[in-house]
Amino acid sequence: MTVPSGPASAEVPAVRCRSLGVSFGTVQALHDISLDLAAGRIHALVGQNGAGKTTLAKVLGGLQAPDNGTVCIAGNQIPPGDVRAAKSAGLAMVHQHFSLPPSFTVAEALELAAARPESHSVYRRTELYRRWQNEVAEVGGTNVLATRIRDLPVETRQSLEIVRALASEARILLLDEPTALLTPAATDTLFERLRGLRDDGVTILIVLHKLREVAAVADTVSVLRDGKLVLGPSEISGVSQGQLSDAIVGPAPDADRAIAVEAAANAEQQLLLELVRVSSRESAFEPGLASIDLTVEAREIVGIAGVEGNGQRSLVSVIAGLSAVTEGSVLLGGEEVTRAPPARRRLRGLRLVPFDRNSEGISRSAPLWLNQSALRLIGRRRQFPLISLRQYKRQASEAMDLWRVRYDTVAQPAESLSGGNVQRLVLSRELASGLEVLVAAQPTRGLDFSATNFVRRSLRGLRDAGAGVLLVSSDLDELFELSDRLFVMYGGSIVARFNAPYDRQAVGDAMTGALR
């Protein structure tokens, strides 16, 4: 079903697709999508995580071949999954993940993106610098050309992605969640730039998931839900915020009862986690910690806000015992564990929900029961006596049933679960028993609406049962909703501490380092 996209629809639309369908195994990622996007405007595409936004963007950009349906760019039909054809029809993509190789210099990376695939020719460095100096002038000055991509700040990398996309004289720009890693201020700059491009006649399709941002930048909006186009493209002026959020969320799912969490509720200890002037070495991705002071008490959720890459990973790995502390001390339940191995901390009641559940939280190829039982394997003692697998499997299935993980058999590999179910599996393991303090890193990232709610309810339940929770998130709304206290990290330090009720403006300023 197609909705006319405004007064200019008589012209050839910049992007037209008809009955697109994509499925991954049993998951229908896109279902019968037909869409016309008028030239010279900014079109927003919104939806929950898992609604199919990225998949649609990939199909339009030729990175993903659809199972059925057609895509026309500026009137030219694109063979399925042909990046080069989409490119030569004038479409360029800016990805959610950075697409410039980290070890390349800026000039090399831009040349890689712009060179015609047939061309194998030899170049001189000076030639590259001359060619690209104008394009990067407004991004970081011409001397940025010899810098390696990995040495650049996130905002500059983001801007370079747009330079890269426009380098091949694109007239249609497709941006997939470009604001995910940006501060509010950097987001404003980006939107300013996009408006300028639109006024020069470039068509822009931007994938977003914050309604605030949609209102700020878009001319039209379309909504995806469960792989279907449920709204639009409609003029932004013609839709109310309420209509939009209804379209995004859909009919309310069955209330998913929160699970009674049997936290250890170790009432005798009040101070569960304490970091005293902790510093650590920088890693390849992040600054190290600079003299962090932090406490988590029983019955509270402490939130950590910050733009990603400001030391949150270092903080969590220091608490988990995965990276070394150079100065200061870490205490768990009053016991010093600064130099203790991770296993010791786990046995002391520390539980973790890692940043990336698919690579750090589970082993994708290992069976469910083994993933679920992982915590029972640690410790040096009793490694060699024979065990009963049946008992391990039974306990795993009981725990997974309790947490409503949907699975067929305990022997299936963990990669066969959906994102929300993987997180339930992780929670079923980490929250099972002996928990005193939970460090939850981005626990709802990539989860759909009901799974997100489920996780948030579980965290609250945990707090009410007497545990302490350290919640690291880049979703301010989530932090505002859950945290009893909120700290902001910037450049490896805690730069601000807030108590509820929170002032969005002040927290945002602290995240950009304005308070430093």
Partner 1 sequence: MTGGLQRVASTVLLVVVSFLLTALILWVSGYRVGTVLSGIIQGSITATGAATSTIRWTIPLLLIGLGVVIGFRAGFFNIGGQGQFYVGACSALVVSLGWREGPVPLVIMCGMIAAILAGMAWSLLPGYLRVQFGTDEVLTTLMMSFIGALVLQYLTAGPLRNPSGTGQTAASERIPEAFRITDSSGVSVTALLLVGGVAVLVWLLLERTRFGLTMTLVGRNPTMARWQGIDVRRVGLGTFALSGALSGLAGAVELYGPGARLVTGFSPEVGFTAVVVALVGMLSVWGTVVAAVFFGGLQSAILFLPIVTDLPPPALVLLHGMVAFLVTIKFRAVRRRRTGPAAKPVAG
Partner 2 sequence: MEQVLATTLRSAAPLVLVAMAGVFAFRAGIFHLGLEGLMITGAFTTVAVGDATGSVELGILAAIGVCMALSAVYWWVIGPLGANVIIAGLGLTSIGLGGTAFALGAIFDIRGSMFTDVVLPRPVRGATSGPGVIISEHSILVWITPLIVLVAWIVLRRSRFGLRLAAVGEYPFAARSAGVNPSIVRLQALLISGALCALGGAELSVGALRNFTENMTNGRGFIAFVAVIFGAWHPIGAALAGLFFGLADAIGIQSQINITERVPREFVLMIPFVLTIFAVWLGGLWRRRTLEAEAGYAELREPDY
Per-residue mark of binding to partner 2, 335-364 (x: CB under 8 A): -----------------------------x
Total length of the chain: 516
CB of 167 to partner 1, least distance (A): 25
Map the footprint of partner 2 across residues 36-65, applying CB under 8 A.
61, 63
**Given candidates 13, 349, 361, 466, which one binds partner 1 under the rule CB under 8 A?**
361
CB 89 within 8 A of CB 12: no
Question: What backbone torsions phi and psi does residue 259 show, to the nearest 5 degrees?
Answer: -95, 135
Q: Is residue 185 close enough to count as binding partner 2 by CB under 8 A? A: no
Map the footprint of partner 1 across residues 214-233, applying CB under 8 A.
224
Q: Is residue 281 close enough to count as binding partner 2 by CB under 8 A? A: no
Which one, 121 or 383, has the nearer CB to partner 2? 121
The continuous run of DSSP H or E covering 480 comes out as helix 476-482
Q: Is residue 129 close enough to count as binding partner 2 by CB under 8 A? A: no
CB of 332 to partner 1, least distance (A): 13
50-58, 234-242, 330-338, 504-512 -> range binding partner 1 (CB under 8 A): 50-58
How many residues bind partner 1 (CB under 8 A)? The answer is 59
CA distance 462 to 460: 5
CB of 480 to partner 2, least distance (A): 33
Which one, 64 or 156, has the nearer CB to partner 1? 64
Distances from the Cα of 243 to the Cα of 180, 234, 283, 375, angstroms? 24, 12, 45, 45
Which one, 55 or 158, has the nearer CB to partner 1? 55
**Given candidates 77, 245, 359, 433, which one binds partner 1 under the rule CB under 8 A?**
359
Q: Is residue 260 close enough to count as binding partner 2 by CB under 8 A? A: no
Q: Is residue 451 close enough to count as binding partner 1 by CB under 8 A? A: no
CA distance 79 to 45: 23
**Given candidates 37, 57, 113, 318, which one binds partner 2 under the rule CB under 8 A?**
113
Per-residue mark of binding to partner 1, 406-435 (x: CB under 8 A): -------------x----------------
**Given candidates 35, 100, 173, 432, which one binds partner 2 under the rule CB under 8 A?**
100
Q: Omega of the bond prior to 233 within 30 degrees of 0, cis?
A: yes
Q: Is residue 78 close enough to count as binding partner 2 by CB under 8 A? A: no
CB 185 within 8 A of CB 173: no
Q: Is residue 123 close enough to count as binding partner 2 by CB under 8 A? A: yes
Q: Is residue 297 close enough to count as binding partner 1 by CB under 8 A? A: no
Per-residue mark of binding to partner 2, 363-392 (x: CB under 8 A): -xx---------------------------
Residue 131 burial class via C-beta count within 10 angstroms: exposed 0-12, middle 13-18, buried 19 and up: middle
117-125, 138-146, 323-331, 486-494 -> range binding partner 2 (CB under 8 A): 117-125
Q: Is residue 326 close enough to count as binding partner 2 by CB under 8 A? A: no
Q: Is residue 117 close enough to count as binding partner 2 by CB under 8 A? A: yes
Which one, 365 or 505, has the nearer CB to partner 1? 365
Long-range contacts: 245-253, Cβ < 8 Å, 24+? 245/211, 247/223, 248/46, 248/47, 248/48, 248/51, 248/223, 249/48, 249/225, 249/449, 250/225, 250/226, 253/449, 253/450
CB 214 within 8 A of CB 233: no
Map the footprint of partner 1 across residues 246-275, applying CB under 8 A.
none
Identity of residue 297: E
User: Which residues is 275 bridged to in the sheet?
Assistant: 294, 330
Question: What backbone torsions phi and psi does residue 503 show, to the nearest 5 degrees?
Answer: -105, 110
Which one, 235 or 308, has the nearer CB to partner 1? 308
**Given candidates 79, 102, 141, 238, which one binds partner 2 under the rule CB under 8 A?**
102
CB 156 within 8 A of CB 140: yes
Structure tokens at 144: 């940025």
CA distance 239 to 247: 11
CA distance 444 to 460: 14
**Given candidates 55, 159, 428, 474, which one binds partner 1 under the rule CB under 8 A?**
55
Q: Is residue 95 close enough to count as binding partner 2 by CB under 8 A? A: yes
CA distance 447 to 422: 10
Query: Which three-class secondary structure state does DSSP give residue 385?
Result: coil
User: Which residues is 393 bridged to in the sheet?
Assistant: none
Interacting residues toward partner 1 by CB under 8 A: 24-25, 27, 29, 47, 49-58, 64-65, 67, 81, 176, 207, 224, 320-322, 341-343, 345-347, 352, 354, 359-366, 370, 373-378, 380, 382-387, 389, 392, 419, 446
